[in-house]
Chain A
């Protein structure tokens, strides 16, 4: 199967407007076919990239980092002091996660990540960004009214808690270290990792015991 087919069939549920989606899909298909025909793009390289993000890279990688930080306080300190090196200890670096900053949510500070300029995101750690993260609405509203945005995600931040919005304007990428929920003292690192959702690592959710592990909604 060529990359051509992968793209043509890419995630129809990711858009609420099927006309727009099919326009884009058609355009991508046409450009891709041209690039391959002219020898500018090697379909094998495209397949490698698509397969990586479809089957290997995703939020489960970030969840491993978070769970380790929850159980290993020395790792957590290294992670917050130098995210790049601490994540490299686990061998989890990769494209668009070369320079990592990890920010910790606490009872006093809530961190939220955005990229107002485009959609910069730690791909090797969280996979490809969700559609909402790339939307104009999120990118503009996250900086001007983060509390309202968080409320729409179901998260009410008390007025005495500082909301910090991190705009990914350089080549550094951000990961939120969520608070470890109460009642998880007896869980293993692997069990903890299953609770950590993608949205929690962007700062758009908290981790709780009722979290559905296979968060797939876009």
Chain B
């Protein structure tokens, strides 16, 4: 179901409220996670023509789920005003060498926030 966007002009009061309180992107619901902390996952190889929060440089790379941050609205569909499609967000650790090859430092790592829909089981 499409997301309605208000056409109303934002008042100074509304601006103040957003600045002070922010916009909550977290969703309070018990959607089960697709992945568990400690699990190896692969970032999907996909090249959507529409908006996505899955960076190209990790597509196809294998990482480790370090933390489950909880359930948030899914920007890939929210950005198109399609649906909120709430799902889990994880901190996924990719070894620098997994992403960039042997020239990268063996000690270093990239931590990328990825959503259930960005990931698949290894």
> Which residues of A are in contact with B by a Cβ distance under 8 Å?
39-42, 44-49, 52, 57, 93-99, 101, 116-117, 124, 143-144, 146-147, 159-172
Contact = CB atoms under 8 A, between A and B. Distances in A.
A171 B19 contact: no
B16 A94 contact: no
Contact of A163 (B107, B114, B115): B107
Which 3 interchain pairs have the tightest Cβ spacing?
Answer: A170-B113, A98-B22, A171-B25
Contacts of A167: 55, 110-113
Contacts of B9: 39-42, 45
A44 B12 contact: yes
B107 A94 contact: no
B23 A95 contact: yes
A50 to B, nearest CB: 10
Contacts of A165: 108-111
Nearest to B107: A162
A74 to B, nearest CB: 22
Contact of A45 (B10, B24, B53, B73): B10
B8 to A, nearest CB: 10
B18 interface: yes
A97 B22 CA distance: 7
Given A40-B9, A96-B22, A163-B105, A49 B111 contact: no
A45 B14 contact: yes
Interface string B42-67: 00000000000111010000000000
Contacts of A47: 12
12 contacts: A39-B9, A41-B9, A42-B9, A94-B22, A95-B22, A96-B22, A116-B57, A164-B109, A164-B110, A165-B111, A170-B69, A171-B89
